[in-house]
Amino acid sequence: DQQVKQNSPSLSVQEGRISILNCDYTNSMFDYFLWYKKYPAEGPTFLISISSIKDKNEDGRFTVFLNKSAKHLSLHIVPSQPGDSAVYFCAASNSGYALNFGKGTSLLVTP
Amino acid sequence: NAGVMQNPRHLVRRRGQEARLRCSPMKGHSHVYWYRQLPEEGLKFMVYLQKENIIDESGMPKERFSAEFPKEGPSILRIQQVVRGDSAAYFCASSRDRGLFSNQPQHFGDGTRLSIL
């Protein structure tokens, strides 16, 4: 019962270009969405979040877009940097605390 | 990930033994969450605790798993009579208050990698 899906296991982008990571969800009761970044052998690090009452949230190079009708959100990273290479997890919640994670997308930013 | 401390980082147990995983939340945080990540999977919520209280354990397996967050000391995730399928990375997260807000998301530790021989 995977309620949060990240259908692209990996993505490769050139440095300086835009990285777009996608996430779909099935539970229409989700009201808060987050993106986490994870390096090997470390825990997830919070990047950016968005409430279901918004459709866009921006923080520096990171922007999250939410399309509730399509049950889809995306993370845009502009410009991409080699240090952005990591696994990115999309997460959603309707309980206020329990996060439902996708399986992650491995981003590689090449020089 | 500075702040949430998990130990040990790696734990090896034989089938039938007990595993104890510890988590010290960030300073000032009184809410603790445990997640499990199986290979090639996303993190799965297990349990949410406040000091001396289990708030939600809906993600915990019904048998062999238990969690506590005593008044003093770290939160403990205990797995009795471990089996091969318990091999996973176990992550602890903490937050200052209940609820998900952009200024106080859950902060994760670096996890405990549990291997069952």
Q: Tell me the C-alpha distance between B32 and B24, whole Å.
A: 9
Residue B102's pLDDT is what? 52
pLDDT in tens, A1-26: 789 999 999 999 999 999 999 999 99
Query: Is residue B1 very low, low, confident or very high in pLDDT (cuts 50, 70, 90)?
Result: very low
| Residues from chain B contacting residue A91 (CB–CB below 8 Å) | 43
Query: Percentage of chain B surpassing pLDDT 70?
Result: 93
Question: A4 and B42 in contact by Cβ < 8 A?
Answer: yes
* B39: chain A residues, CB-CB within 8 Å: none
pLDDT given at position B28: 87
Residue to mutate among B9, B43, B69, B97, with most A CBs inside 10 A, is B43
Which residues of chain B does A57 touch, with a Cβ-Cβ cutoff of 8 Å? 102
What's the average model confidence in pLDDT over B41-48? 94
Yes or no, beta carbons of A98 and B44 under 8 Å apart = no
Q: Enter the tokens of residue A16.
A: 């300086």
Q: Would the CB atoms of A43 and B91 count as touching at under 8 Å? A: yes
3-state secondary structure chain B: CCCCEEECCEEEECCCCCEEEEEECCCCCCEEEEEEECCCCCEEEEEEEECCEEEECCCCCCCCEEEECCCCCCEEEEECCCCHHHCEEEEEEEECCCCCCCCCCCEECCCEEEEEC
Return the number of other C-beta atoms located less than 10 Å from residue A61's C-beta: 14
Residue B3 near residue B24, CB atoms below 8 Å: no
Q: What is the dihedral of CA A21, B3, B77, A87, to 10 degrees?
A: 20
- Tell me which chain B residue has its CA closest to the CA of residue A58: B102
Pick A31 or A96 by higher pLDDT. A31
Arithmetic mean of pLDDT, B58-78? 95
Tens of pLDDT, residues A41-68? 899 999 999 999 999 999 999 999 999 9
